[in-house]
Structure 1
Amino acid sequence: MSELSVKEAVEVKNIERRVGHDVVAVTMFLEKKLEERGYAALKPFIHFGLTSEDINNIAYGMALHDFIQTILTPALTNLVKEITALAETHAATPYLARTHGQPAVPTTFGSFLANYGYRLAKLTTKLKNLKPQAKLGGAVGDLSAHKTAYPQVDWISFAEKFVEQMGLECTSAATQVVPHERFSEILQTVAVIASVLANLCRDFWLLGALGLVEFSKPFEQRHSSTMPQKHNPLLYENAEGCFDLAAEMLSYMATRLLSSRLHRDLSDSVIKRFYGTAFALTLLGVKNLIQALGQTHVKADKMREEVEKTPEASAEILQLILRKHGVEDGYSLAAQAAEKGLDWLRETLSARGLDSSIVDEAAVARYVEAGFEKAVMLVERIRELVRGLNV
């Protein structure tokens, strides 16, 4: 039997309702199938020496690994590419950075986006390389029943080979359950990814509120039941909600599943049944975010204008230049110049017998150049990581 039909799955569920145990229902179904096909003599060897968790932990590991490799990693890689393309387009676009919500210093919008692209590419690479662990060890992990029944068999080697054939990493340090450290590392990595992407959604929301980006929509879509003019960041908000809930669920799972009373209790089984919900939320968030980025227009002229209208944003580099030239109160002078202007600073320096032309070294262009160089560097590093993902 390589496939299970819907009719057969219903049959298994009917058996489960009768016996109250999912794995026992499967074994009874398989025994029936062997008998129907003339292999009744093999019935005693179904589920031989195993416990339900020997089946379940391998099944969960395979399902999780397959989802990450074939669905989540490609989706995240596509998102990395979208962010990187936008970062490259705006590598030299002047952009006023904000810390604590207030104007800080100029950078480039490409540098800002490349930060996210690189972080996501690194996290995706880490996730792709994490292989779930599994165990095949019987009731308490010692393979004692197996060794008693067939002492001539090297059961440890058999278990390792079998688990590795399933595409998983075998661990012998197990009780009835597989130690959850590797599963937790995977869950926590996805939780971190979700948290990073939720923050990206919030940043674009704020950029929209600042008037630095705008959100398009298909003509027939309505973003308000009463205000026809509204162009809301709905996709960003939807993605943010998905990511936040996914991160909370996955973080809880990652820590809670490390706990197992003595050799086994069943509380973990309930929690694992919500893997699908948490991962589905993550995937939905990624898809919404990709779509949102495609419907976002970056107002580069507005960004450039904001930098030009905020000359005080160069106060940081100005105080460094002053201190570089031996002006001990350079920080204080730069702070005053942010309010009084550069002409006042030039006059102050001249009155002290200092070269006022040093003020010209603190040009906004230096910030933009540094931002551009960083954006280009990160974009290249991101592309190297994407090539390594091989999706």
Structure 2
Amino acid sequence: MPEEQTDATESVTPYTPARRRRSLAEQTPPIALGPLDGRYRAAVAPLVDHLSEAALNRERVHVEVEWLVHLAAHRVLPGAPTLSGEEVAYLRDVVLDFDAHTVAELSATERITVHDVKAVEYLLKERLAAAPALLGGDTVLPQVTELVHFGCTSEDVNNLAYALMVQGAVRDVWLPAATALVDDLAAMAREHAAVPMLARTHGQPATPTTLGKELAVLAHRLRRQLRRVARAEYLGKLNGATGTYGAHLAAVPGADWPGISRSFVEHLGLTWNPLTTQIESHDWQAELYADVARFNRVLHNLATDVWTYISLGYFAQVRGQGTVGSSTMPHKVNPIRFENAEANLELSCALLDSLGSTLVTSRLQRDLTDSTTQRNIGPAFGHSLLAIDNVRKGLAGLDADPAAMERDLDANWEVLGEAVQSAMRAAGVAGVPGMEEPYERLKELTRGRRITGEDLRAFVLGLGLPDDVAQRLAAMTPASYTGAAADLVRYLDA
């Protein structure tokens, strides 16, 4: 008799650690919670200058400094002293020198104020108080302390800061990266403009095209979205607690506060919004994020199409780029750049869609839903930027394989049925007899089965077409049946 089997689990002693694990949350320097500040930091680091919490505070300081300078330069408040060039430079240096020490100082102040914008106000007031020691005792900066944050609600500062942050992120980081990607794609389209390729509609063999023309379609779509993003308006307002200039007019009733507000907002390089509640309505943000999300979705289409071309063998992935295809299958080089891009584009779109739908709504004159929402602008652009980086590197690692495309074309002669039946229609219209039911006759010849070049030539030569037409069709191959595809690529330069 076989020896009695014992359940192995009965003899297993559960592992009990001798001591508790170290807390990763307490490590210094802090360990990132999300991948954008951890694994993928290098690809998205340029956005930190624009869309991080520190960048938000730096732009708040920038807005507060420029507002003070604007009020003084335009002599808005009677009796306020005029600032010298040296004093203006001193104030602007607070922004230029904003660093980790400033971030720590603001954090310490905010723990007391429990209000982020108030902490910025106090930071500037401290800098004004310190001015005599640095500029000399005759500076007037201590006298303008109460011009800091004059007439402002926190949202006056925040909306302008966010507009400047997003404007900088788009113009200085995202748009150049996206444009470089599309330029790379357009160059590939031109290089392969005349390389014939079997098209697939609904996944089935269809009228041949060229690799370059198909890449050009995607480049053209992406460029159109880039033009929309480049034309984006960045709106801002400075009009008080409920958008009425109430405090401004109470303090200085003779000033043209709407005019002062407009000149200040435009001085910052933004578009003035004259009608708001306590908040700037954020509609421009929703418009911009919709355009960026649309770019993302077209790029997602590119990623899935190129992935499919790789699986068909139309592209060979260049080895030697430091990639491991599979941990167990040495022959593989996986299209991971495009797969990672897909996932990051989906995350970016989800965040951008949420931003766009949430930010356009605020209860009555103000609620705080936009505060947390806007703090996720950085991740939304970060995932998009990471995807752009992945696709660009992925494209750089591809070599087209025209021979593989040629083999696919040569195995699908039935795609010439469209050309033959169209020529038969034209001949019938011209009065050539025997051209009835061209579609049906080609369907009978080609549908559901493979035909050879000899099959098609025999069919064509037996139709009774005019000799020149018959010879032209008989000489045609799937690789030559690409229409104007190669020439269409030139529209990328239009």
- Please report the TM-score for the alignment, with normalisation by the length of structure 1: 0.91
Match of 1:389 in 2: none
1:342 aligns with 2:450: no
Query: Which letter does structure 2 place at the counterpart of 1:379?
Result: L
Judge conservation of contact 1:318–1:359 (CA < 8 Å) in 2. Answer: no
What aligned pairs does 1:196-215 form with structure 2 within 5 A after superposition?
196-215=298-317
Instruction: Tell me how far apart the structure 2 counterparts of residues 361 and 176 of structure 1 sit (CA, whole Å).
Output: 72
Structure 1 counterpart SS, 2:316: strand
Query: Which letter does structure 2 place at the counterpart of 1:337?
Result: L
Match of 1:164 in 2: 266
Match of 2:73 in 1: none
Structure 2 counterpart SS, 1:368: coil
Match of 1:114 in 2: 216
Query: Which letter does structure 2 place at the counterpart of 1:48?
Result: F
1:12 aligns with 2:125: no
Instruction: Tell me how far apart the structure 1 counterparts of residues 403 and 275 of structure 2 sit (CA, whole Å).
Output: 60
Structure 2 counterpart SS, 1:95: strand
CA shift at 1:135, angstroms?
0.9
1:187 to 277, 282, 289: 289
1:292 aligns with 2:427: no
CA RMSD of aligned residues (A): 1.9
Q: 1:360 to 1:241 in 2, by over 3 A?
A: farther
2:485 to 356, 371, 382: 371
Deviations 1:174-222 (A, max 9, x none): 1111122211111111111111111111111111111111212327532
2:410 to 308, 319, 343: 308
Instruction: Tell me how far apart the structure 2 counterparts of residues 214 and 322 of structure 1 sit (CA, whole Å).
Output: 40
CA shift at 1:235, angstroms?
1.1
Instruction: Tell me how far apart the structure 1 counterparts of residues 323 and 389 of structure 2 sit (CA, whole Å).
Output: 19
Judge conservation of contact 1:191–1:250 (CA < 8 Å) in 2. Answer: yes
1:226 to 294, 319, 328: 328
Q: 1:332 to 1:358 in 2, by over 3 A?
A: farther
Judge conservation of contact 2:410–2:479 (CA < 8 Å) in 1. Answer: no
Structure 2 counterpart SS, 1:104: strand
Judge conservation of contact 1:77–1:124 (CA < 8 Å) in 2. Answer: yes
Instruction: Tell me how far apart the structure 2 counterparts of residues 58 and 219 of structure 1 sit (CA, whole Å).
Output: 43
Instruction: Tell me how far apart the structure 1 counterparts of residues 254 and 358 of structure 2 sit (CA, whole Å).
Output: 39
CA shift at 1:27, angstroms?
1.1
Match of 2:207 in 1: 105
Match of 2:493 in 1: 380
CA shift at 1:293, angstroms?
0.7
Q: 1:43 to 1:235 in 2, by over 3 A?
A: same
Match of 2:121 in 1: 27
The number of residue pairs the alignment matches comes to: 377
CA shift at 1:361, angstroms?
4.5
Match of 2:172 in 1: 70
Judge conservation of contact 1:342–1:359 (CA < 8 Å) in 2. Answer: no
Instruction: Tell me how far apart the structure 2 counterparts of residues 335 and 270 of structure 1 sit (CA, whole Å).
Output: 60
Q: 1:206 to 1:365 in 2, by over 3 A?
A: closer
Q: 1:104 to 1:142 in 2, by over 3 A?
A: same
Query: Which letter does structure 1 place at the counterpart of 2:259?
Result: S
Instruction: Tell me how far apart the structure 1 counterparts of residues 148 and 470 of structure 2 sit (CA, whole Å).
Output: 83
More helix by share: 1
Judge conservation of contact 1:95–1:108 (CA < 8 Å) in 2. Answer: yes
Structure 1 counterpart SS, 2:482: helix
1:89 aligns with 2:171: no
Instruction: Tell me how far apart the structure 2 counterparts of residues 83 and 220 of structure 1 sit (CA, whole Å).
Output: 22
Q: 1:76 to 1:293 in 2, by over 3 A?
A: same
Judge conservation of contact 2:156–2:238 (CA < 8 Å) in 1. Answer: yes
Query: Which letter does structure 2 place at the counterpart of 1:247?
Result: C
Structure 1 counterpart SS, 2:205: strand
Match of 1:258 in 2: 360
Instruction: Tell me how far apart the structure 2 counterparts of residues 31 and 165 of structure 1 sit (CA, whole Å).
Output: 23
Query: Which letter does structure 2 place at the counterpart of 1:177?
Result: I
Query: Identity, % of aligned pairs?
Result: 33
Instruction: Tell me how far apart the structure 2 counterparts of residues 349 and 369 of structure 1 sit (CA, whole Å).
Output: 23
Instruction: Tell me how far apart the structure 1 counterparts of residues 480 and 402 of structure 2 sit (CA, whole Å).
Output: 18
Judge conservation of contact 2:323–2:333 (CA < 8 Å) in 1. Answer: no
2:374 to 272, 275, 284: 272
Q: 1:137 to 1:328 in 2, by over 3 A?
A: farther
Instruction: Tell me how far apart the structure 2 counterparts of residues 212 and 316 of structure 1 sit (CA, whole Å).
Output: 24
Larger displacement relative to structure 2 (325-334 or 225-234): 325-334
CA shift at 1:87, angstroms?
0.6
CA shift at 1:14, angstroms?
1.2
2:235 to 128, 133, 138: 133
Gapped runs of 5+ residues in structure 2? 1-90, 133-140, 429-434
2:351 to 242, 245, 249: 249
Instruction: Tell me how far apart the structure 2 counterparts of residues 360 and 102 of structure 1 sit (CA, whole Å).
Output: 28
Match of 1:384 in 2: none
Structure 2 counterpart SS, 1:349: coil
- Please report the TM-score for the alignment, with normalisation by the length of structure 2: 0.73
Q: Which has the larger radius of gyration?
A: 2
Judge conservation of contact 1:321–1:361 (CA < 8 Å) in 2. Answer: no
1:329 aligns with 2:437: yes
Structure 2 counterpart SS, 1:261: coil
Q: 1:172 to 1:215 in 2, by over 3 A?
A: same
Instruction: Tell me how far apart the structure 2 counterparts of residues 114 and 317 of structure 1 sit (CA, whole Å).
Output: 24
Match of 2:161 in 1: 59
